[in-house]
Amino acid sequence: MTASQLLDNIILHENAYFYIKETSGFLSKRIIKETFSEAATDKHGRSLLEIVKEKKTLSNGIEIFYSILVFKYIKKPSFTEELIINWEEVKLAYMCIVDFEEHLVVTRRNISKISDFLKTFEVLDYNVITSIYSQDNTSFEKLSMDNMNISDRAIRQKSLESPDLKENVSSFGLQGYILNTVRVSNDEEKIALSVNSSRINQLGPKNTFNAFLNWCNKTVEKIKNYVPKTNFLSSFATSIDYSKHKDDLTPTSILIILSKIYKEFEENKIKRCFFRIKKRNEILEREINLIPILKQFEYLLEIEDIEDVYKIKNNVVNDLSLFLNNKSITLRSKKLSKLFIEYETDLCYPILSVINWTRSYIITFDNPEFIYCNRKLFKDSRLLGNLDSVLKIFKEDPELENVTSEKGKFQVNLTNFETNSVFGFVENTFKANYEYFICDDLSKEWADHIGLNEDSIAFYHSKYKNSNFSASDFQDIIGQALKNLGNLSPSDDQWEIKERLWSNLYKNDFVETQISRIRTGQSSNQTISYFKTIKGYPNIKKQVHIVINFISKSALEDRLHKLKNGESFQERNEVIQILWFISSLISSCFEANTEVYIHCKP
């Protein structure tokens, strides 16, 4: 077959990535050949089809250039350790570049080595890709979104599906989520959009190559004729121009999102992990278990500005830092650049490259209105604009100024927690409000105390510290509350372990006291029976109470107003992190239909 005959035999889905060029003009043959050469480094034999920069006049008179590459490659099966003769998997890969003067369209399959080429183009602006298929009668059928919440205990991703989500999803709270993918319906036309990667997929049968080119042209015309409009998707977080604000940004903390790597482990896509070490003139590889290393990075990490180097504080490597590029923020580390992930596809990448490519981190700054996520900068003025609302969850109690420990000292004849402990304060202050009050501290606890009555299920989380405005201490107690939100409505398989625990006396520091776990109420059986009953009440209130001694409401209010007014003060970075944690707590509790209160010093 001739190249023309082969091209006539190709059928493609109307599915491609759309980019914008920084400067108008068509790509040179040299750039396309270099890209094809990079994409086909593993090809077996000669290319099956290679057309470079072929001119084409479309039906509306627009002139474009297209280039296409098809090749064969050999792959080792995933279930063998080494390649066995006659056990090879023969696969085909293709890549097609459709070159408009100001835009570029790329469709590909089994191609993964062209990241350097694609970096030279801009993905479609968030507002453009979410608007070009939005009309008055558009139905939004499916959404997936990423959470900007910086708590390591927050739900990271959510997916929603309905015949039309704008009819049954409240827009309140969506500002804290970044839209990832969306499927819309316009009459008989369904389109799936990948917002972060600029992929547009018009669902339907495959079509001829010429029809694919005409679809690319129609889509580019939609992009060129974009007119800003407000629609249902406008409720989500929208990005601002990072390059315009880059010089004013000072990073203060980072949360590295590892869920994508963990998912690849679950799906058996990762073959092995290893360090690549150069010894004398020899390159050695030492396999490692990556999971324990990753666990050291699961928390919000502080960033220090040391001589204009943004060092990320952690317990694993001492050279991990952030670099503010012209268009994005990336992680750097010479030590971690030697740590590789090898996939079942035999492709091998440094772990930092994987994290940078997948945009797997959230960064906060000394200006709390800014947050960086998914390679985009977002500005949210609500954080400082709603300080009065934020402070309403704080409840002042002067008695918290007198506590001297979290649980007090333990003795075998003790029947109550010491009055000057946080536990003692909680019981003396709140126990009388409930028909059942339980000390659930230690051993896979849901909370330090649990209160039950006909109106509410309440979890009390307590913490004592000698610190003042400690973001790390605040993060610990917030994390404890967030990870147990689901236990406000326990599943049936959880009761057995609670029945055993709650029927015992309280034991701590190897001392078994006379403190009953059931602080108000009768037996553990009756307590559990009551819990099971009220959790099914349709109007039951779920509440989270955080009780701490190391924050004063008036002092926090003073610092937050200084922050809002742009004033400098000693605890600025800590207060910014605390503000983000409060915002995360409020957001997560709202989604779980749970009231939240923080009891602290006046």
| Mean predicted confidence (pLDDT) in 495-505 | 94
Weakest-pLDDT range from 82-86, 137-141, 464-468:
82-86
CB 442 within 8 A of CB 430: no
User: Minimal CA–CA distance to 213: which of 32, 23, 63, 413?
Assistant: 63
The pLDDT value given to residue 279: 82
Residue 136 binned pLDDT confidence (cut-offs 50, 70, 90): confident
CB 254 within 8 A of CB 300: yes
Residue 281 binned pLDDT confidence (cut-offs 50, 70, 90): confident
| Mean predicted confidence (pLDDT) in 294-301 | 91
Radius of gyration of the chain (CA): 29
Secondary structure element (H or E) that encloses residue 292, with its range: helix 290-295
The pLDDT value given to residue 477: 95
| Mean predicted confidence (pLDDT) in 32-53 | 94
pLDDT digits (tens, 9 = 90+) for 370-389: 999 988 899 877 778 888 88
| Burial class of residue 172 in the structure, from the number of CB atoms within 10 Å of its CB (0-12 exposed, 13-18 middle, 19+ buried) | exposed
First to last CA, the chain: 83
Average pLDDT in the chain: 92
Tokens of 558: 């003073």
pLDDT at 443 over 90: no
The owner of tokens 């659930």 is 440
Residues listed for the chain: 602
pLDDT at 187 over 90: no
| Mean predicted confidence (pLDDT) in 188-209 | 93
The pLDDT value given to residue 116: 85
The pLDDT value given to residue 434: 98
pLDDT at 528 over 90: yes
> Left if phi > 0, otherwise alpha if psi is -120 to 50, otherwise beta: which for 357?
alpha
pLDDT at 105 over 90: yes
Q: Residue 251 and residue 238: Cα distance in Å, rounded?
A: 20
The pLDDT value given to residue 508: 92
pLDDT at 81 over 80: no
The pLDDT value given to residue 325: 92
- Cα Dmax for the chain: 94
The pLDDT value given to residue 86: 86
Residue 141 binned pLDDT confidence (cut-offs 50, 70, 90): very high
Percentage of the chain lying above the pLDDT 90 cut: 69
pTM of the model: 0.81
pLDDT at 336 over 80: yes
The pLDDT value given to residue 78: 75
DSSP assignment of 139-166: EEEEEEEEE----TTS--EEEEE-S-GG
pLDDT at 180 over 80: yes
**CB environment 324-347: b (16+ within 10 A), e (fewer):** beeebbbbbbeebebbbbbbbeee
Residue 190 binned pLDDT confidence (cut-offs 50, 70, 90): very high
DSSP assignment of 184-225: EEETTEEEEEETTTTEEEEEEEEEEHHHHHHHHHHHHHHHHT
CB 440 within 8 A of CB 447: yes
List, in sequence order, every beta strand (DSSP E) within 500-555: 505-508, 511-516, 518-520, 541-552
Q: Residue 262 and residue 267: Cα distance in Å, rounded?
A: 9
Q: Which residues contact 339 (CB under 8 A, 6 or more apart)?
A: 273, 274, 275, 288, 290, 293, 350, 351, 352
CB 516 within 8 A of CB 414: no
Tokens of 454: 């006909």
Tokens of 49: 């089809």
The owner of tokens 């236990």 is 487
DSSP code for 325: -
Tokens of 61: 């008179």
Residue 94 binned pLDDT confidence (cut-offs 50, 70, 90): very high
Tokens of 539: 């109007």
Weakest-pLDDT range from 296-300, 342-346, 528-532, 553-557:
342-346
pLDDT digits (tens, 9 = 90+) for 225-245: 998 888 888 888 888 889 999
| For the ranges 382-386, 389-393, 397-401, 584-588, the one whose mean pLDDT is highest | 397-401
Percentage of the chain lying above the pLDDT 70 cut: 100
Tokens of 40: 């086909």
User: Minimal CA–CA distance to 101: which of 234, 221, 191?
Assistant: 221
Residue 399 binned pLDDT confidence (cut-offs 50, 70, 90): very high
The pLDDT value given to residue 488: 96
User: Minimal CA–CA distance to 211: which of 413, 186, 219?
Assistant: 219
The owner of tokens 């090898």 is 342
pLDDT digits (tens, 9 = 90+) for 543-557: 999 999 999 999 999
Residue 313 binned pLDDT confidence (cut-offs 50, 70, 90): very high
Q: φ, ψ for residue 493 (rounded to 5)?
A: -80, 0
pLDDT at 357 over 80: yes
The pLDDT value given to residue 444: 87
Q: Residue 387 and residue 474: Cα distance in Å, rounded?
A: 18
Residue 278 binned pLDDT confidence (cut-offs 50, 70, 90): confident
**Amino acid occupying residue 242:** Y
